[in-house]
């Protein structure tokens, strides 16, 4: 698509023609930065960026039972959302069925409960899987969730070649920051590798992993640590995949990344420009990429829940708008904007609609999508990008010197970095050194809290009832046989994905499949520092 064909102008009709407003920067910078869509990808992964295709507006959603989440997805799509992102409840994330007594109070609380393939079918009832792009924010049980989704797609009649989306499947960040792991690190990485291998062979439009700095950032690390630790994770995963015998160019084009977008507008935009450059260098110089797509970093930007405040919650509209703008200026491929009430509970329909409208206004009214890399060539931006990259490389070197990320996690060192950074931030807010509007400055006691989303307290009971009915009518012999075959596959080193899918087809539950894995792999208990 040429500039003449698109006829890009400002609102005043000024032509943004390359002759006058070049998308390429000055010659002295061009040789170092490259052009958009070309190595080292500083200026964006694609040559036309948002001029040809906007980012995916992928609002993160899910709560209660599968039919509750289906209704929310239908609403979001009716409002112009262009892709889906599924939130799962804690029992699902930790490999427990909704009927497990120990997790009874958590069913459907922070995401949707998924016990069986039928639940996955209900989530996407009336939503054609072969026409959607879906992100699944799930890690320890990621292979099970993907397997259930693929079986649901089969039952819709979708072809595997048409299944598009992303599975987060980044278990290292669970050990690093979020802590919803189940199995020991080595077995966990084996399952990650099973998924990436399977997806690379059978799902040409699906990303088998989203290498994630987001959760470390939400836990308290800074922007430099975020991309440094993300690149260290990328190295660890790549080495694991290649140790399986996978060729780098076989899996690398479908790797994706996930970063947080916070409130220092320029730092956030420069951070991801540096990250693209770092991955390009790693892919080509360390791992020998032969295909340009193997060195192209594509990322999903989640605006930051950690920055939102329960005090004066409408201020969060402004915070989320700035975060979305930073992600756009940085060249994100997919964005989620937080609802203003997420510091208080599950977002209401009003707040998720406003969050989606935030993306749509930036896309269609702000003008920032008209220029491929609006910030390029600014001395401040280019210097800040260089400085962030230099400091992030030092983190990568520190991790390598410590034996790699897995060994460093076992020693608790990156976790300590995050804790120390989080403590510095909170101390600065508490002292007033860092201003938090509505919290430590411009405080008012007379601002009303908006109406909150009310969780249906019967959702857990309904979910357990449905599970009991499904178990009562399934073929238990077939389910036990499929679980036995999965057990054998896990023990003999076969790729587990086909066996998990067979178990799902036979009616085995997520908890039963996870229990089979627990019996083979054991359960990891994080060492305590005292």
How confident is the model over 381-391, as pLDDT tens digits?
Answer: 999 999 999 99
Is the confidence at residue 530, as pLDDT, over 70? no
Is the confidence at residue 144, as pLDDT, over 60? yes
The CB density around residue 285, as the number of other CB atoms within 10 Å, is 10
The share of the chain scoring above pLDDT 70, in percent, equals 94
CA pair distance 447, 342, nearest whole angstrom: 17
The whole-number pLDDT of residue 1 equals 38
Nearest to 267 by CA among 315, 212, 226, 211: 226
Strands 84-86 and 60-61: parallel
The whole-number pLDDT of residue 4 equals 42
Domains of the chain: 39-406 (3.20.20.240)
What is the pLDDT averaged over residues 154-172? 97
Q: Identify whether the C-beta of residue 94 lies closer than 8 Å to the C-beta of residue 505.
A: no
DSSP annotation of 158 reads: -
Per the listing, tokens 């990621």 go with 142
Q: How far is CA 56 from the centre of its chain?
A: 13
Q: Is 373 exposed, middle or buried (0-12, 13-18, 19+ CB in 10 A)?
A: buried
What is the pLDDT averaged over residues 79-86? 94
Per the listing, tokens 């890009």 go with 8
pLDDT band at 31 (very low <50, low <70, confident <90, very high): confident
Q: What angle do CA 178, 182, 187 make, to 5 degrees?
A: 110
Using alpha carbons, list the distances in angstroms from residue 482 to 48, 307, 362, 496, 506: 48, 45, 49, 12, 7
pLDDT band at 3 (very low <50, low <70, confident <90, very high): very low
pTM (whole model) above 0.85: yes
- What is the average pLDDT value for the chain, to the nearest integer? 93
Please write the tens of the pLDDT for every residue from 114-141: 999 999 999 999 999 999 999 999 999 9
């Amino acid at each position: 698509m040429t500039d003449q064909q698109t006829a890009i102008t400002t609102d005043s009709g000024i032509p943004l023609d390359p002759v006058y407003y070049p998308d390429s920067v000055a010659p002295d910078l061009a040789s170092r930065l490259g052009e958009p869509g070309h190595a080292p990808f500083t200026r964006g992964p694609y040559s036309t960026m948002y001029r040809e295709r906007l980012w995916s507006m992928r609002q993160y959603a899910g709560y209660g039972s599968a039919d509750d989440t289906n209704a929310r997805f239908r609403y979001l799509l009716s409002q112009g959302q262009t892709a889906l992102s599924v939130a799962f409840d804690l029992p699902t994330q930790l490999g427990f069925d909704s009927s497990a007594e120990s997790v009874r109070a958590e069913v459907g609380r922070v995401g949707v409960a998924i016990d069986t393939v039928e639940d996955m079918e209900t989530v996407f009832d009336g939503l054609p899987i072969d026409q959607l792009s879906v992100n699944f924010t799930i890690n320890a049980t990621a292979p099970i969730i993907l397997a259930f989704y693929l079986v649901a797609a089969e039952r819709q009649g979708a072809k595997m070649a048409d299944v598009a989306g992303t599975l987060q499947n980044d278990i290292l960040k669970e050990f690093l920051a979020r802590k919803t792991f189940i199995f020991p690190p080595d077995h966990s990485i084996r399952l990650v590798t099973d998924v990436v291998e399977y997806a690379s062979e059978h799902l040409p439009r699906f990303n088998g992993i989203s290498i994630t700095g987001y959760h470390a950032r939400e836990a308290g690390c800074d922007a430099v640590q975020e991309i440094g630790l993300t690149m260290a994770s990328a190295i660890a995963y790549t080495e694991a995949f290649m140790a399986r015998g996978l060729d780098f160019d076989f899996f690398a084009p479908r790797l994706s990344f996930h970063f947080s977008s916070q409130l220092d507008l320029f730092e956030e935009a420069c951070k991801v420009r540096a990250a693209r450059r770092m991955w390009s260098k790693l892919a080509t110089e360390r791992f020998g990429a032969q295909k340009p797509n193997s060195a192209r970093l594509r990322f999903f930007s989640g605006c930051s829940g950690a920055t939102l405040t329960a005090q004066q919650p409408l201020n969060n509209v402004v915070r989320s708008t700035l975060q979305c703008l930073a992600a756009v200026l940085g060249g994100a491929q997919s964005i989620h904007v937080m609802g203003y009430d997420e510091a208080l509970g599950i977002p209401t329909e009003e707040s998720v609609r406003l969050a989606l409208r935030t993306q749509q206004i930036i896309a269609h009214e702000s003008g920032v999508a008209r220029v491929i890399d609006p910030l390029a060539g600014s001395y401040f931006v280019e210097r800040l990008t260089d400085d962030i990259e230099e400091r992030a490389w030092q983190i990568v070197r520190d991790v390598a010197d410590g034996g790699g990320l897995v060994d460093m996690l076992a020693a608790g060192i990156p976790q300590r970095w995050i804790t120390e950074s989080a403590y510095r931030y909170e101390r600065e807010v508490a002292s007033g050194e860092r201003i938090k509007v509505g919290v430590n400055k411009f405080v008012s006691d007379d601002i009303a809290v908006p109406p909150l989303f009310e969780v249906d307290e019967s959702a857990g009971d309904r979910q357990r009832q449905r599970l009991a009915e499904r178990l009562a009518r399934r073929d238990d012999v077939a389910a036990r046989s499929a679980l036995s075959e999965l057990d054998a596959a896990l023990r003999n080193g076969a790729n587990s994905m086909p066996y998990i899918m067979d178990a799902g087809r036979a009616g085995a539950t997520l908890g039963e499949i996870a229990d089979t894995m627990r019996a083979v792999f054991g359960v990891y208990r994080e060492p305590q520092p005292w």
